[in-house]
Amino acid sequence: MHERIRASFERQGLMRHLGAELADISPGRVTIVLRSRPEVTQQHGYIHAGATSAIADSAGGYAALSVFPDDAEVLTVEYKINLLAPATGDYLEAIGTVVKSGRTLTVCHLEVFGVQGSERKLVAMGQQTLICLRQDSK
């Protein structure tokens, strides 16, 4: 599971472009980290909502993939994210957690924290629905 997720993550051009990194992989839970730097900020200096949303979406997607069969892939069907506070800190930490995994659809909870030193602040949270695509259904 770890190698399959790492290999898939390496193929994601957007995650590479943003400089995002896989930080933790466990069954039903994946963490992605994005370091703060000028290239991912918006005009006020906060980390852009697009970057925040992208790492949340990918964290949930890989959390779902971690519980899917080996011959399956994952696609996001929909997600909703609430931006709770400006995304600031040394880095963002996006955590995707499987809430319910079904044969076809899986639901994940998404959280994004701004981390400054030893302090973590919840800056975004959401929910996501993903579809399990098997080799024979592609």
Q: What is the sign, positive or negative, of the torsion defined by CA atoms of 103, 109, 110, 115?
A: negative
Contacts of residue 30, defined as CB under 8 A and 6 or more positions apart, other chains included, come to: 5, 22, 24, 59, 60, 62, 63, 66, 95, 96
DSSP 68: S
Helix (H) / strand (E) element for 13: namely helix 13-18
Give me the CATH number covering residue 65. Answer: 3.10.129.10
pTM (two decimals): 0.95
What is the reported pLDDT for 46? 98
pLDDT digits over 55-107, tens only? 999 999 999 999 999 999 999 999 999 999 999 999 999 999 999 999 999 99
What is the reported pLDDT for 135? 74
Residue in the structure block whose two tokens are 């800056």: 123
What is the reported pLDDT for 134? 87
Instruction: Tell me if residue 80 falls in helix, strand or coil.
Output: strand
Q: Which two tokens stand for residue 28?
A: 């039903």
Indicate if the pLDDT at residue 125 is higher than 80.
yes
For residue 103, give the amino acid letter.
R
Average pLDDT over residues 123-127: 98
Average pLDDT over residues 105-130: 98
Tally of domains within the chain: 1
Distance between CA atoms of 125 and 112, rounded to whole angstroms?
6
Residue in the structure block whose two tokens are 């997720």: 5
Domain that holds residue 36: 2-137
Average pLDDT over residues 37-66: 98
What is the reported pLDDT for 137? 53
Residue in the structure block whose two tokens are 């697009």: 50
Per-residue pLDDT band for 5 (boundaries 50, 70, 90) equals very high
